[in-house]
Amino acid sequence: MASLTDLVNLNLSDCTDSIIAEYIWIGGSGIDVRSKARTVKGPITSPSQLPKWNYDGSSTGQAPGEDSEVILYPQAIFKDPFRRGDNILVMCDCYTPQGEPIPTNKRYNAAKVFSHPDVAAEVPWYGIEQEYTLLQKDVSWPIGWPVGGYPGPQGPYYCAAGADKAFGRDVVDAHYKACIYAGINISGINGEVMPGQWEFQVGPSVGISAADEIWVARYILERITEMAGVVLSLDPKPIKGDWNGAGAHTNYSTKSMREPGGYEVIKKAIEKLGKRHKEHIAAYGEGNERRLTGRHETADINTFKWGVANRGASIRVGRDTEKEGKGYFEDRRPASNMDPYVVTGMIAETTILWKGN
């Protein structure tokens, strides 16, 4: 007699050409990921092969009850690490039935930026460092921490090993491998400074694909923490006091920055970012003021400064970039709960399209 596990892991490929497509989208808070599945004929090799679909936007805070239909447009596909086989994950964005992007569809404007000829010619690369915290399910307190109490001070936890220093590695490694299986360009993981906090990196990825990959990686992490019985937090300062916050440092370069003489291009780009500091900060995540205090490897939220190898700066330039006269820089301001469509599109728009007036 088949067990539940046998049925969950059932391989359908030898008996049907039907596959399961899990449609993923961003909900009304701008940070929650939603999904539902449908059966389609496979294999699917491009999102253009998939039908549009709809959902009840009144249940996600994205439409009124009397006119609740929101339309999903498939935009990117990934292999499904949970169902496997030819089954897929589908990153979508959201529109009204009349074809207008809904207010929470931040991908639409980002796609316009990245399709601009001047931006496309610069082939913008992004490497995004997504920090996150794993919480105990019923008490909203980091895993590995005594309930109602605190572990020893920060110092021994960053990139550490050991049962008293690294908490949740099974979740982290499961996520790492699942992202590789899915086809996400995940480039690494590490334990962070605060115990119970981790980071994964996506990139370098070109243009809007970096944001698609971060969103699907977040979705996969939500699913894995669901199975593990722990809670994923993208709060930029989950614990008050003398503890590091969580960011989404965004590394960036253009073709001109990667070529000889690129360091001068980088400095001009940083100057533009400084002129629009308040505008970027306003779009870089909720609750970021609790994180950007000028302490714990951050610059103060009201101050813009950059430096070489300076992790207390708004923008950090690496030693190798300075030495070689070309390369990339790191925007350290985005919060862990930032929308990668907003941040990547905004950086490209400011540094490439904006004239700096």
pLDDT tens digits, 219-269: 999 999 999 999 999 999 999 999 999 999 999 999 999 999 999 999 999
Looking at the fold, whether 175 and 289 belong to one and the same domain comes out as yes
Looking at the fold, whether 146 and 94 belong to one and the same domain comes out as no
- Residue whose tokens read 């030693």: 319
Average pLDDT over all residues of the chain: 95
pLDDT reported for residue 10: 87
- Please confirm whether the linkage preceding 146 is cis (ω < 30° from 0): no
- Cβ–Cβ under 8 Å, residues 326 and 260: yes
The CATH number of the domain where 67 resides is what?
3.10.20.70
Report the C-alpha gap between 234 and 247 in whole angstroms.
9
pLDDT reported for residue 295: 80
Q: Is 305 helix (H, G, I), strand (E, B) or coil?
A: coil
Q: What residue numbers bound the domain in which 58 lies? A: 4-104
pLDDT reported for residue 148: 85
pLDDT tens sequence across 200-218: 999 999 999 999 999 999 9
Report the C-alpha gap between 1 and 4 in whole angstroms.
10
Greater confidence (336 vs 308) lies with 336
Domains identified in the chain, total number: 2
The CATH number of the domain where 220 resides is what?
3.30.590.10
Q: Which residues pair with 189 in a beta bridge?
A: 200
Looking at the fold, whether 153 and 285 belong to one and the same domain comes out as yes
Q: Is 316 helix (H, G, I), strand (E, B) or coil?
A: strand
The two tokens of residue 215 are: 């969103």
Distance of alpha carbon 237 from the chain centroid:
17
22, 99, 47, 76: which is closest to 341 by C-alpha?
A: 76
pLDDT tens sequence across 95-116: 999 999 999 999 999 999 999 9
110 within some domain: no
The two tokens of residue 156 are: 């021994």
Looking at the fold, whether 226 and 136 belong to one and the same domain comes out as yes
Among 9-13, 50-54, 64-68, 137-141, the range with the most confident prediction by mean pLDDT is 50-54
pLDDT value at 11 more than 90: no
- Of 104, 139, 161, the residue that ends a domain is 104
pLDDT reported for residue 67: 83
Confidence of residue 312 (pLDDT cuts 50, 70, 90): confident
pTM of the complete model beyond 0.85: yes
DSSP conformational letter for 254: -
How much of the chain is helix, strand and coil, in % rounded to 5? 30, 25, 40
Looking at the fold, whether 33 and 167 belong to one and the same domain comes out as no
Distance of alpha carbon 139 from the chain centroid:
25
Q: Which residues pair with 199 in a beta bridge?
A: 131, 190
pLDDT reported for residue 9: 85
Listed in sequence order, the residues at least 6 apart from 275 whose beta carbon sits closer than 8 Å to its beta carbon are 356
Looking at the fold, whether 162 and 76 belong to one and the same domain comes out as no
pLDDT value at 274 more than 80: yes
177 within some domain: yes
The two tokens of residue 267 are: 């400095």
pLDDT reported for residue 154: 94
- Of 83, 104, 125, the residue that ends a domain is 104
pLDDT reported for residue 296: 65
pLDDT value at 294 more than 80: no
Question: What is the mean predicted confidence (pLDDT) over 340-354?
Answer: 98
